Amino acid sequence: MNSPTDAAFVLTAVIDHFDGMHAVLKIEGGEQVRWPVKRLPDGAREGTAVRLTLSTAPSEEAERVQVARAMLNEVLRIPE
């Protein structure tokens, strides 16, 4: 598990059951989270393991910049 000082914090969860338009995810440590079914990966069902990534806005911005730069470099064939 990541430390609280990391830019992103990843939690592993398992889909416990479905409740209407939500899936109930059980997170390590026993906590539960209700998650919209439409935001689950394709093919997800009860027992499927998923990862939840929490990050701060600055790390999200840095990641978007990194992805955009990598895509631009690929298009222009500029070595990183």
Report the CATH number that the domain containing residue 53 is assigned in CATH.
Answer: 2.40.50.140
- pLDDT tens, residue by residue, 21-58: 999 999 988 899 999 999 999 999 999 999 988 877 67
> In the 8-state DSSP scheme, what is residue 78?
-
The rounded distance, in Å, linking the Cα atoms of 55 and 60 is 7
Beta bridge partners of 51: 12
Q: Is residue 1 part of a domain?
A: no
Model confidence at 7, in pLDDT bands (50, 70, 90)? low
Instruction: Decide which of 8 and 66 is more confident.
Output: 66
Q: How many domains, in total, are found in the chain?
A: 1
Which residue range is the domain that position 15 belongs to? Answer: 8-76
Reported as a pLDDT band with limits 50, 70 and 90, residue 2 is very low
Q: Does 32 map to a domain?
A: yes
Question: CA dist 34 to 17, 19, 41, 44, Å?
Answer: 10, 9, 15, 14
